[in-house]
């Protein structure tokens, strides 16, 4: 569901008194994609970002950048923390922000929610799943890295991920048995119905 965390529609007001002009900047909405590798999460998140002109932030890209550029081997939560800052800055500018990460624990999920709540932005959680294990396995094994030097997880590593069940409110989309376009159409229709996208 869409979380209305701000009492007012507009969060910034700039007055150009010499000309009698009032400029208002509307704060953006945070759309949070979560789910295990190989479920179609990044494909759908990137496609949505392109369709609506949103800022797209992928944890894999940022964490690999920390490894490559900053020579950091133990990433831990640094990728999430850095992405939170970038997301919040873009929300303040009025941009729709799409966050793409596994987001496996209640701690990481509340962290993303807080990015929006701290500045009075709206946010919407989406969990992408693939309920057919055989189909999920074949997707994971057929994947090719779109980020240079990124090591993709094996199927056994995906199965071994510490991914906690959701207690929080979210929209869950099951991509099993559907092609990319069918999954995207269902996603976009849901977001449009809920007023998240135009």
How do the pLDDT tens digits run along the chain, 198 residues long?
Answer: 555 444 334 444 444 545 555 556 789 999 999 999 999 999 999 999 999 999 999 999 999 999 999 998 888 899 999 999 999 999 999 999 999 999 999 999 999 999 999 999 999 999 999 999 999 999 999 999 999 999 999 999 999 999 999 999 999 999 999 999 999 999 999 999 999 998
Classify domain 10-193 by CATH number: 3.40.50.300
Closest by Cα among 81, 106, 94 to 30: 94
pTM: 0.88
Q: What pLDDT score was predicted for residue 172?
A: 98
Cβ neighbourhood burial of 102 (10 Å; 0-12, 13-18, 19+): buried
Q: What pLDDT score was predicted for residue 159?
A: 97
* Contact present, 88 and 32 (Cβ < 8 Å): no
CA 32, CA 22: separation in Å to the nearest integer? 32
> For the chain, percent helix, then strand, then coil, each to nearest 5?
40, 20, 40
């Amino acid at each position: 569901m869409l979380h209305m965390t701000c009492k007012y529609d507009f969060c910034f007001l700039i007055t150009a008194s010499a000309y009698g002009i009032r400029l208002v900047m509307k704060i953006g909405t945070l759309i949070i994609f979560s789910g295990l590798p190989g479920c179609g999460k990044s494909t759908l998140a990137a496609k949505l970002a392109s369709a609506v002109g949103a800022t797209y932030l992928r944890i894999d890209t940022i964490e690999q950048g920390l490894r490559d550029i900053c020579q950091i081997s133990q990433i831990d939560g640094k990728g999430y923390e850095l992405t939170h800052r970038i997301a919040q800055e873009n929300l303040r500018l009025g941009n729709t922000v799409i966050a793409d990460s596994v987001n496996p624990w209640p701690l990481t999920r509340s962290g993303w929610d807080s990015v929006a709540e701290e500045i009075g932005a709206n946010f919407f959680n989406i969990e992408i799943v693939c309920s057919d294990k055989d189909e999920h396995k074949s997707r994971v094994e057929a994947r090719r890295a779109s980020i240079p030097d990124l090591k993709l997880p094996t199927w056994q590593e995906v199965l071994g991920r510490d991914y906690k069940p959701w207690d929080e409110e979210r929209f869950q989309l099951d991509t099993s048995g559907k092609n990319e376009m069918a999954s995207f159409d269902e996603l976009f229709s849901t977001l449009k119905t809920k007023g998240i996208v135009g």
